[in-house]
């Protein structure tokens, strides 16, 4: 065996060992976050049936599994970092909102859901800041942050429909990212890279803020509906801009 082959094998073994250590640390941190998600779900629906517990466990497990695969296959650093823990915390908070999918929230629980979603939204910029501060910026971290944003939006849209009394059209505010992913599975040009965009991030914040307002237990239907229309218009226009960008740069 020549030196190049031996060195290459050593590097691969080291990379696998590092990835394994990062993944184990992530899974260890995810267990107390599952407990947090179950605790918050219990606060939202104190007499929750076993099905709510099952939903929380399944959704949290799915989020952890997807993130764990990304860490193993695409994370370039040898430390997990605080940023990824904050993103996983946001995922756990979003998962807890699934408690409202089976039973409508009482007013006090709706306010608690508003608080949980607002804190998750406020933490949205914290993980990126921590990644830059710790020197652990990665495409995985940015992608996972985006997917948690999309999942939070979907959960809020479902809560607005199932628990807050809004019609099924509110789901249009929670589904665009997943519609885009489905389209990308059929249209290869949609899988191309997109540049960083302040416009895209601003539309995401507006989307989630509008969805939070929709579940506020106050008689502000006209205001909430107007904000939702504005957010939806901005969101779909933003997706249209990205689709045009990808179309023009298709191979």
> How would you write the chain as a 3-class SS string?
CCHHHHHHHHHHHHHHHHHHHHHHHHHHHHHHHHHHHHHHHHHHCCCCCHHHHHHHHHHHHHHHHHHHHHHHHHCCCCCCHHHHHHHHHHHHHHHHHHHHHCCCCCHHHHHHHHHHHHHHHHCHHHHHHHHHHHCCCCHHHHHHHHHHHHHHHHHHHHHHHHCCCCCHHHHHHCCHHHHHHHHHHHCHHHHCCCCCCHHHHHHHHHHHHHHHHHCCCCCCHHHHHHHHHHHHHHHHHHHHHHHHHHHHCCC
Please report the pLDDT score of residue 15 as a whole number.
82
Angle at 118 between CA 113 and CA 119, to 5 degrees: 100
Please report the pLDDT score of residue 7 as a whole number.
56
Please report the pLDDT score of residue 210 as a whole number.
97
86-89's contacts with Cβ under 8 Å and 24+ in sequence apart are 86/123, 86/126, 86/127, 86/130, 87/127, 87/141, 87/144, 87/145, 87/148, 88/26, 88/29, 88/30, 88/33, 88/63, 88/64, 89/33, 89/36, 89/123
Give the span between the Cα atoms of 68 and 77, in whole angstroms.
14
Domain 1-247 bears CATH identifier 1.20.120: yes
Please report the pLDDT score of residue 212 as a whole number.
98
Tens digits of pLDDT across the chain (251 residues): 455 455 556 777 878 889 999 999 999 999 999 999 999 999 999 876 789 999 999 999 999 999 999 999 999 999 999 999 999 999 999 999 999 998 889 999 999 999 999 999 999 989 999 999 999 999 999 999 999 999 999 999 999 999 988 999 999 999 999 999 999 999 999 999 999 899 999 999 999 999 999 999 999 989 999 999 999 999 999 999 999 999 999 86
Please report the pLDDT score of residue 5 as a whole number.
52
Give the span between the Cα atoms of 146 and 112, in whole angstroms.
24
Please report the pLDDT score of residue 47 as a whole number.
74
Claim: this prediction has a pTM higher than 0.75? yes
Cβ–Cβ under 8 Å, residues 43 and 109: yes
Give the span between the Cα atoms of 172 and 14, in whole angstroms.
45
Please report the pLDDT score of residue 218 as a whole number.
94
Residue spans per domain, the chain: 1-247
């Amino acid at each position: 065996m020549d030196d190049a082959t031996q060195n290459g094998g050593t590097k691969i073994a080291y990379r696998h060992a590092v990835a394994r250590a990062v993944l184990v640390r992530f899974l260890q941190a995810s267990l107390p976050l599952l407990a947090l998600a179950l605790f918050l779900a219990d606060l939202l629906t104190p007499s929750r049936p076993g099905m709510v517990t099952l939903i929380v466990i399944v959704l949290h497990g799915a989020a952890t599994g997807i993130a764990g695969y990304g860490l193993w296959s695409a994370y370039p650093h040898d430390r997990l970092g605080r940023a990824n823990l904050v993103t996983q915390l946001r995922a756990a908070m979003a998962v807890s909102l699934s408690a409202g999918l089976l039973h409508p929230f009482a007013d006090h629980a709706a306010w608690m859901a508003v608080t949980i979603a607002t804190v998750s939204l406020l933490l949205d910029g914290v993980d990126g800041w921590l990644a830059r501060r710790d020197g652990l910026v990665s495409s995985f971290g940015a992608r996972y942050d985006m997917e948690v944003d999309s999942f939070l939006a979907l959960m809020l849209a479902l809560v607005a429909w199932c628990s807050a009394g809004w019609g099924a059209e509110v789901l249009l505010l929670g589904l665009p990212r997943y519609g885009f992913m489905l389209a990308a599975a059929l249209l290869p040009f949609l899988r191309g890279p997109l540049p960083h965009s302040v416009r895209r991030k601003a539309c995401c914040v507006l989307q989630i803020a509008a969805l939070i307002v929709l579940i506020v237990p106050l008689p502000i239907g006209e205001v909430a509906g107007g904000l939702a229309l504005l957010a939806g218009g901005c969101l779909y226009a933003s997706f249209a801009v990205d689709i045009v960008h990808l179309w023009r740069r298709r191979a």
